[in-house]
Structure 1
Amino acid sequence: MKGNGAIELIAVSKFYGSTQAVKSIDLQIPAGAYCCLIGPSGCGKSTTLRMIAGHEVISEGDLLIGDRNVTELPPVKRGTAMMFQNYALFPHMTCAENVAFGLKMQGVSPSDRKDRAKEMLARVQMEQFADRKPDQLSGGQQQRIALARSLITEPSVLLLDEPLSALDPFLRARMRDELRRLQQELGITFVHVTHAQDEALALSDMVVVMEDGIIRQKGTPQEIFNQPRSRFIANFMGGQNIFKGTVSESGPAGTLLARGPDSFFLPGFADGKAGEELEFTIRTDLIGLDETAPQEAQNGQIPVEITTVEYLGLWVRIVATTSDGKEITLMKTESEFRQAPVRRQDKFIAYWKPEHAHVLA
């Protein structure tokens, strides 16, 4: 593969007339990383990807790939390749011809093109389909051809714009495995735009969450999921319940919050100010249900009534409602649920260990 695939965006903005789609973002993606840009529709993630590719002009700021400032360079001179959401395969060409097209544009000889296309088709396990046309392939097979075409020019960076969105869940999971395998084998930088939280968590070394043209948080999948910085990120990534309370006391050991008749302890959090409202999260799989408050709860407990029980196969989703109407979601494995089944209108104490609380900024 060609060049150093480290990417750096320095105060990069994008304007469409008076509308600012991307707002002075700074981002460093290490060479060889798998980075997912994620966020709701209109957050600026695809615009950012297209600016890295050179398909959108950067309005303000600089873009570095490796040790080169490529802000003003056309796409063909950036050392990047892009895989589009609709694959954009040429319908009149065979799979082998589609894969070799980039080499043809570079003036590579027909014999070398044929050999390298054959090698790349083998890498994506599609060599037996070399002579077929795209309309003779399934969606997953078309995607493999598009991936091979993107990689054959040996880019230092591969840019992927929602590449799995058109696939059914089974194929999506298989292609996730394929993308990760190829990225690790080739050692090049992948930048992948998606709106699917599970996709970003499964694939990436680095997740970048965007909202309203701004980077709200970046980090490892584990950091983003377990330590969201804000209510927006906790809600968007899912898997969290958000609680709010008023600081009644705070000291070196932690902070005690009051919520009506209930109280919550946040160990190790000493920055609370008396009377201040704080929010914290508890993962949906870390909340228990009991008829009485267990000793381990230690001020992490609240009376609830079961309002929803959904069987999801490996998991059972339970929604419980507090006396003031707040909904709490719990996820239990099927085996956990079988050992302690619950039904609508059952009343319990919802509890958690204080150390599982994460305070939101």
Structure 2
Amino acid sequence: MHLPSAMFCGAADTRGYIDSYFKVCSALNLGKPANFIDGNFSFEQFGGKKAYEKNSVRTIDESDIIVFVIRENFGEITWEVEFEHAVEQGKNFIILCLQKTYGKYKMSSPAELQESKMLSKIYYLENQNRLSRFSIVAFEENTLEKNLTEQISHLFRTALQSKETLNKRDAFINVHLHSANYRHYHENDLTEKNELICKSILFDPYEHKELRKRAMEFFVHRKTLSQEELINLCMDSEQGIARKTVSRIGQLADTEKIKLGDIFEEIVAAVVLDGEVGLIRRCLRSMSELDIMMAVRLFPNFFPADDVGTPKRIVRIIEAHFENLQQQIKEGKLSRVKLLDLLNLCSGKEATVGDWKDVAKALVAKLEE
């Protein structure tokens, strides 16, 4: 059985803390504890001029927990090689700083921070690094063992919680998404817990697209996706997710809380810019099925159209809803002029096949009667 292992990183002045580090590793039943101060590390004899750096990187790669300890001095390899590599590799790490040094950092002026490499590094860790504001745990000379035990125990607990979350996700996938009945949910399945699981799957760009599509079905029943979430899905980098969302947005959205017109305004602007024909077609159909008045209002935003299919489909949609649209004009709910302008926009597109332009002309003639 492979036991989790730790690596101790720090400048030479942290040598006095090695015994406490060993005691913690032993008490927590960690594997062979690595550190460079007493030569206990993985090494390559023929590493060349940068042998120490290569050995540091190699030891970090072989360790599960990296313990960075600050006493007073700045360690070049510790902070310029080991720390940067640990972060890049996503290693679990802990930063411990002697309270005396941390207090000095807190009381330092900007000029004093500039003068001290170690204090400057602490400021960088807490405020300016490119990934996150890292937490630094202060310790007293006689509390390192206690603080380190608490922090490693916290990492273990976090790991177990993460595994628990993964177990819940896997159980849900096996019961609901891998089942032939993934479109059907009982009332007691529509829980907040399952909603969180489905969202984690649905919005994971690295998850398999078929699993993401199946997770989307949950929200046909739950209807708890926000306007922003729906728009993000309609613009998803995975083409199949974007197309399915646009096609089923009327079923996904809680129309009592969300205005579909606002969503489609953003979607239309995005799909026209992208020029993805399949998404444009689904957008035209979805809008017209949900609200023909909204559709007519937004159809001009598709012009100038890059493909002849867009004006052709708009004309066919207007033809299918023509009686309703004429009634809307009579009731003063739709501008006759704007509908004429839309049809003329469609007629202005060159056509090579079909009779849709004749249909457009016929509709214009009816409106002008």
Instruction: Tell me: higher relative CO, structure 1 or 2? Use CA pairs within 8 A at least 6 residues apart.
Output: 1
TM-score by length of 1: 0.26
Q: Which one has the largest radius of gyration?
A: 2
- Going by fraction, where is strand more abundant, 1 or 2? 1
